[in-house]
Amino acid sequence: MSYYEIQGGRPLEGRLTVQGAKNSVLPILAAALLAPGRSVIHNCPDLSDVSAALDILRLLGCRVEREGEAVAVDAAGLKCARIPEGLMRQMRSSVIFLGALLARLGEAELSYPGGCELGPRPIDLHLSALRTLGAEITEEQGNLRCRGGAWLRGGEICLSIPSVGATENAMLAACGCPGVTTIVGAAREPEIVDLQNFLRAIGARVTGAGGSRVFVAGGRPLHPARYRVMGDRIAAATYLCAAAATGGQVEVAGVEPGALTALLTCLEQAGCQLTAAGDAVRLTCRGPLRSISPVRTAPYPGFPTDAQAILMAALAGGEGATLFVENIFDSRYGHVDELRRMGADICVAGRAAMVTGVGRLHGAGVRSPDLRGGAALVVAALGAEGTSRVSQLHHIRRGYERFPECLRALGASIWERQ
Ligand code: EPZ
């Protein structure tokens, strides 16, 4: 089993351009199904979750070719509407293909995506949104059979939770429904805006993304397009927190600073100097990180749940106490026990976690519990005294492209070992 061997205590210095956004490219690859013909998606990161999505597109009948940083998807040959259980289990966010298949083929069949390390991952909001548009959905023995077709019509979808995936599925399905669809209570994440921009590029009429009401005038013929995916704000947050944890100076380019406001505010409170210009953020940290106001995860523009573990890892090696409250997922503290093995002082009670900085963590052998928890352990190991081993790398490979290489380019001592 391979692992990262990390020598901690080296301040990160330098500049990097961040990868394309995993949570944007996955719905955009599903959206490529809507347009018969060859779309080219630029800034497509080389991640295992992206590979899984490309495997699904091929299985559905698309021609898929990677051309360096771009991926070409020719959806003219789309003929299959069924995603097998094996591929669904490989990546739970494959549920995002539901809306696109319904819009293009009028039907879809897939197995329930099931839970993951973060706890149960229900899709009730996805299904109720599609039913509002007229889809007939039957659930039997863990399989979902969805039928749409000529009777699909635009309608008003009300989301009780601003679910990112449900908003995306609703937008994609609505593109195949004649009439206007309004999504009330939509998620406002920047990745939703990126999806809207791609849909507009293929000829769809979508407005309002980034706000809580999204409008789709569906049923129009769509055409392929060339599109560049936004930078990954969570990957950017990871490199910035690594710089903060090691007392270095790093500039991260290729990301919209406004998409990171909540995290940057926390890092500034913790004592980092931050400057933002154009599509780059520079962080300088010359002393131990200080305690900050309580960090409560929330839907965008609140503090992103995906950055919770990463910021916690940086603060655990600082000074002072900070309260975290995880409001989005039921069990997103899998990294806490592993951080404790590195000397962290963290007390968890339900959704709350009190982190008391110990001045410096020490190296240890730790296991990635999930994607962002694994990245958090790398951040902690980079700032710790001594050598760490981080295993279960398959979690990290889902969301970070060339992670050790990017960190080494900033001066880190991190090597993958067998
Ligand atoms: C997306 O997941 C992201 N994944 C997640 O990133 C991210 O943490 C999450 O949004 C929140 O920002 C992708 O975009 C591929 P949700 P998603 O639907 O869409 C509940 C990462 O690390 N809910 O916004 O699955 C749900 O249980 C990943 O990159 C329902 O109850 O998240 C959760 O408590 C992890 N019913 C809350 O809503 C539903 O039908 C938010 O989930 C759907 C969701």
pLDDT at position 378 is 98
pLDDT at position 109 is 96
The Cα–Cα gap between 193 and 200 comes to 10
Greater confidence, 359 or 286?
359
> Mean pLDDT over residues 3-16, rounded?
98
Q: Does ligand 1 lie within 6 Å of residue 399's CB atom?
A: yes
The owner of tokens 């299904």 is 127
Residue 374 has pLDDT above 80, yes or no: yes
Q: Does ligand 1 lie within 6 Å of residue 237's CB atom?
A: no
The CA-atom distances, in angstroms, between 306 and each of 182, 230, 391, 418 are 28, 17, 20, 28
> Mean pLDDT over residues 155-170, rounded?
98
Protein residue with its CA nearest to atom 43 in ligand 1? 123
pLDDT at position 142 is 86
Q: Does ligand 1 lie within 6 Å of residue 161's CB atom?
A: yes
> Mean pLDDT over residues 243-264, rounded?
98
Residue 149 binned pLDDT confidence (cut-offs 50, 70, 90): confident
Provide the angle, in degrees to the nearest 10, between the axes of the packed helices 124-132 and 97-105: 20
Residue 207 binned pLDDT confidence (cut-offs 50, 70, 90): very high
Q: Does ligand 1 lie within 6 Å of residue 121's CB atom?
A: yes
pLDDT at position 91 is 82
**Atom number in ligand 1 closest to CA 330:** 34
Residue 183 binned pLDDT confidence (cut-offs 50, 70, 90): very high
What's the whole-model pTM score?
0.98
Which residue out of 164, 229, 395 has the highest number of ligand 1 atoms within 8 Å of its CB and is therefore the one to mutate?
A: 164
Q: Does ligand 1 lie within 6 Å of residue 174's CB atom?
A: no
The catalytic residue among 62, 80, 116, 241 is 116
pLDDT at position 86 is 86
Residue 233 binned pLDDT confidence (cut-offs 50, 70, 90): very high
Q: Does ligand 1 lie within 6 Å of residue 122's CB atom?
A: yes
Q: Does ligand 1 lie within 6 Å of residue 372's CB atom?
A: yes
Residue 141 binned pLDDT confidence (cut-offs 50, 70, 90): confident
**Atom number in ligand 1 closest to CA 165:** 19
The number of CA neighbours under 13 Å toward the Cβ of 13 is: 4
> What's the 237 CA to ligand 1 centre distance in angstroms?
18
Condensed to tens digits (0 to 9), the pLDDT of residues 23-77 reads: 999 999 999 999 999 999 999 999 999 999 999 999 999 999 999 999 999 999 9
The Cα–Cα gap between 108 and 417 comes to 42
Q: What percent of the chain has pLDDT over 70?
A: 100
Protein residue with its CA nearest to atom 21 in ligand 1? 306
pLDDT at position 318 is 97
Per-chain mean pLDDT for the chain: 96
> What's the 165 CA to ligand 1 centre distance in angstroms?
6
> Mean pLDDT over residues 190-202, rounded?
98
Which residue out of 93, 127, 161, 325 has the highest number of ligand 1 atoms within 8 Å of its CB and is therefore the one to mutate?
A: 161
Q: Does ligand 1 lie within 6 Å of residue 238's CB atom?
A: no
* b/e map 370-404, b = 16+ CB within 10 Å: bbbbbbbbbbbbbbbbeebbbbbbebbbbbbbebb
Q: Does ligand 1 lie within 6 Å of residue 126's CB atom?
A: yes
> What's the 163 CA to ligand 1 centre distance in angstroms?
6
Whether 295 and 279 have beta carbons less than 8 Å apart is answered as no
Residue 371 binned pLDDT confidence (cut-offs 50, 70, 90): very high
For the chain, helix (H) and strand (E) counts, in that order, are 14, 24
DSSP state of 212: S
Residue 115 has pLDDT above 80, yes or no: no
Residue 307 has pLDDT above 80, yes or no: yes
Q: What percent of the chain has pLDDT over 90?
A: 92
DSSP state of 88: H
The Cα–Cα gap between 33 and 26 comes to 12
> Mean pLDDT over residues 147-168, rounded?
95
Residue 285 has pLDDT above 90, yes or no: yes
Condensed to tens digits (0 to 9), the pLDDT of residues 341-361 reads: 999 999 999 999 999 999 999
Judge whether 285 counts as a catalytic residue. Answer: no
**Atom number in ligand 1 closest to CA 370:** 22
pLDDT at position 92 is 79
| Low-confidence winner among 90-94, 229-233, 329-333 (lowest mean pLDDT) | 90-94
> What's the 327 CA to ligand 1 centre distance in angstroms?
12
